[in-house]
Amino acid sequence: MEESIANAGVATSLGCSEVSREVVNDFSITFSTINGSGSATANLTIMRAIFKMGIPVSGKNIFPSNIKGLPTWFTIRLSKDGFLGYTEKSEIVVVMNPQTFARDLATVKPGGVIFYTDEYKGPIERGDVVAYPMPVKKLAKETDIPANLRDYIENVVYIGILAQMLGIDFERIYQAFETHFQGKKKAVDSNFEVVRRAAKWAEENLEKRDPYRVAPMNLTDGMILGSGNAAAALGSIFGGIQFSAWYPITPSSSIAESLNEYLPMFRKAADGKATYAVVQAEDEISAVGMTVGAGWAGLRAMTATSGPGLSLMAEYLGLAYYAEVPLVVWNVQRVGPSTGLPTRTAQGDVTFSYFISHGDTKYIILIPSTLKECFEFGWQSLDIAERFQTPVLVLSDLDLGMNYWISAPFEYPDRPMDRGKILWEEDLEKMIERCQGKWGRYLDVDGDGIPYRTVMGNRHPRSGYFARGTGHDDFGKYTELPEDWEKGMKRLALKFETARAVLPEPEIRTLQGAQIGIIAYGTTHDAVEEARYLLKKEGILTNYLRIRALPFSKEVSQFVERHQRVYVVELNFDGQMKQVLSAEMPMLAHKLRSVAKVDGMPFSAECIVRMLLSQEERP
């Protein structure tokens, strides 16, 4: 076998007779590199160039909890059909890390390709794979780049080789460098020169023996490419965010970092002064404490965190729930419990987020699936929090937050900001008149469970009140009377019911004649859509409801009702959304089946199909 691989001609004939059948714009490339080596620039450049060629693309980073020296993988998926979810194996694997060669070789799809650094001298124990060695060290040395940048330049070398071998447009690579280096011409030109030389080497030394090729399309015209965390920050800025306190934690830090980067561009007053403040707190308790304080005082306030941070925020969220303080918490989920897999993705905080804190609490939750939704929920969450005077949690995850997605462009908010029932001096005067002198912070004047609020700085002599987490009556006064406590709980429950009807509605996609339903949410969306396509090819038609908010609107139970059985697809071990659905619609719970797993990787379409079919076949 080894010999046959060494002999390129044999390898090709073993690999596939498909060399004549080109595979255009429908494959994945995985880059296996060492973290801290600067490979991100190279990978993003290739991804951006493909995006700029008009081809739908996604980029997923599988990285260790480490700064330098451990293996890391980046997978670019191109799909002319727009299926951009995670794939377990790739058609093309680029190995820059000799240590992981054997493992990487195993992840190449049959008939695929491996590009590898010629530092690897060992055997290539697969006959169904085309192998191209790359003299990256030699080519890097030939450049006039300073020695301390050589590791980085080795990554730029493979851009050139891949571009040559796959047909990536060099002009687009140049543009991708311009985007990456923000127009710094010297950096762009010197990097591009390395790409050009490497491409020339490939042209002269490698014979194309594989079927994979990219070709320009026009499917990304007007679209955007980026990460969910950046979109969340931009959405919050268009939602008028005024205060954010945060504490560093993967994978949420880049929300706050994006706020710091973008706020000065969008939100300086005419005199150059700031209409916002972002504070790095000493821990997540303080981060949420500051955010609650700001929300209480009338600022549009948001904090961002991940599982361990959310655990620390539990007590403050309970206070904000009971004292009725608006704030937004972005929870960019990672694998737990405990520190878990801190750099891997999951949807494991559904039940915790919904019921977080002691006592009887429940929260409004928004779940974005796309960049565009990260932006929309960025501004809508601030409206919803102020309208309902309650914490709103937005459940993103590492995959959406830190990986690269294409999306329809952001749209300017289609409605004015909703500041909710806030009363300044004149408003309060009118309210007191309207209620014949009766005024209380927690009085349900409108019968919707939502009281009116005043905030500090209001000079009206009746505006002040003492907010507290202890039992209080309609007027904010301390009380331990059983009837007062119960009345408060009932009003909070009514408020929650009021919210149910106005939260982002679920998205439903149907196929004529389908009897089976799928419910999913968040980043499993792409894999679910691809799974439905694969299932359809097998003759299994499915309808699909994507949950975008909790508490559920009535469409969710109606959807379950309409189907013989409904698979709930989610990236956690316990089937948490199925638990919540079962609790909220016990009469329909028997129809629900779980397609739930968590292992650190996103869901692939193939995995959903496998797990779903295994239950379909069950008698």
Partner 1 sequence: MIEHVVDGAKATNQIGLTRADYRGVQSTLCPGCGHMSIANQIVNACYELNLVPEQVVKFSGIGCSSKSPTYFLGRSFGFNGLHGRMPSLATGASFADTSVEILAISGDGDTASIGMGQFKHCMRRNTPMVYIVENNGVYGLTKGQYSATTEQGIQLRKYGKTKFMPVDICLEALASNATFVARSFAGDPKQVKELIKAAIKHSGVAVLDIISPCVTFHNLETSLHSYVGGKGHEVPLHDIAYVPLLDEITVDDFETGTIKEVALHDGGHIVLKKLGEDYDPFSRAQAFHILEEAHRKNWLVTGLIYVDPDEKNLHDLFNLVDTPLNRLKEEHLRPPSDMIDVANQLMQ
325-344 residues near partner 1, rule: CB under 8 A: none
> Considering only 72-80, 412-420, 539-547, 594-602, which stretch makes contact with partner 1 by CB under 8 A?
412-420
Pairing mode of beta strands 391-397, 327-335 = parallel
Output 276 or 330, the one with its CB closest to partner 1.
276
Report, in Å, the least distance between residue 460 CB and partner 1.
7
Query: Which of 2, 411, 446, 497 is close enough to bind partner 1 by CB under 8 A?
Result: 411
- For partner 1, what does the binding mask look like between residues 423 and 462, x meaning CB under 8 A? -x-----------------------------xxxxxxxx-
Output 316 or 559, the one with its CB closest to partner 1.
316
The rounded distance, in Å, linking the Cα atoms of 594 and 568 is: 5
Of 275, 344, 339, 343, nearest to 307 by C-alpha is 339
Output 116 or 405, the one with its CB closest to partner 1.
405
Asked if 183 touches partner 1 (CB under 8 A), the answer is: no
Asked if 481 touches partner 1 (CB under 8 A), the answer is: no
> Considering only 76-84, 298-306, 506-514, 551-559, which stretch makes contact with partner 1 by CB under 8 A?
298-306
CA-derived radius of gyration, the chain? 27
Terminal C-alpha separation, the chain: 44
Asked if 471 touches partner 1 (CB under 8 A), the answer is: no
Report, in Å, the least distance between residue 494 CB and partner 1.
24
- Tokens representing residue 4 in the block: 């046959």
Asked if 468 touches partner 1 (CB under 8 A), the answer is: yes
Interface of this chain with partner 1, residues 352 to 371, rule: CB under 8 A? 371
Output 452 or 559, the one with its CB closest to partner 1.
452
Query: Which of 121, 186, 273, 537 is close enough to bind partner 1 by CB under 8 A?
Result: 273
Report, in Å, the least distance between residue 177 CB and partner 1.
13
- For partner 1, what does the binding mask look like between residues 374 and 393, x meaning CB under 8 A? -x------------------
**Residue 478: what are its φ and ψ, rounded to 5°?**
-60, 135
Asked if 245 touches partner 1 (CB under 8 A), the answer is: yes
* DSSP sequence for 266-280: H-B-TTS-BS-EEEE
Asked if 274 touches partner 1 (CB under 8 A), the answer is: yes
Asked if 77 touches partner 1 (CB under 8 A), the answer is: no
Of 448, 452, 548, 557, nearest to 498 by C-alpha is 448
Residue type, 179: T
Query: Which of 319, 598, 601, 609 is close enough to bind partner 1 by CB under 8 A?
Result: 319
Output 70 or 297, the one with its CB closest to partner 1.
297
- Are the C-beta atoms of 35 and 250 separated by less than 8 Å? no
- Tokens representing residue 192 in the block: 């591009």
Query: Which of 15, 54, 240, 504 is close enough to bind partner 1 by CB under 8 A?
Result: 240
Q: Of how many residues is the chain composed? A: 619
Asked if 304 touches partner 1 (CB under 8 A), the answer is: no
Matching residue, tokens 């290539």 = 124
Report, in Å, the least distance between residue 285 CB and partner 1.
6
- Tokens representing residue 541 in the block: 């038609």
- Are the C-beta atoms of 259 and 278 separated by less than 8 Å? yes
The rounded distance, in Å, linking the Cα atoms of 323 and 89 is: 50
- Are the C-beta atoms of 303 and 287 separated by less than 8 Å? yes
Count Cα atoms within 13 angstroms, Cβ side, for 90: 25
CA distances from 23 to 19, 110, 357, 518 (A): 9, 14, 52, 31
Query: Which of 93, 108, 159, 323 is close enough to bind partner 1 by CB under 8 A?
Result: 323
Of 44, 18, 22, 23, nearest to 33 by C-alpha is 44
Asked if 225 touches partner 1 (CB under 8 A), the answer is: yes
Query: Which of 238, 330, 352, 354 is close enough to bind partner 1 by CB under 8 A?
Result: 238
Query: Which of 224, 445, 508, 534 is close enough to bind partner 1 by CB under 8 A?
Result: 224
The rounded distance, in Å, linking the Cα atoms of 26 and 57 is: 10
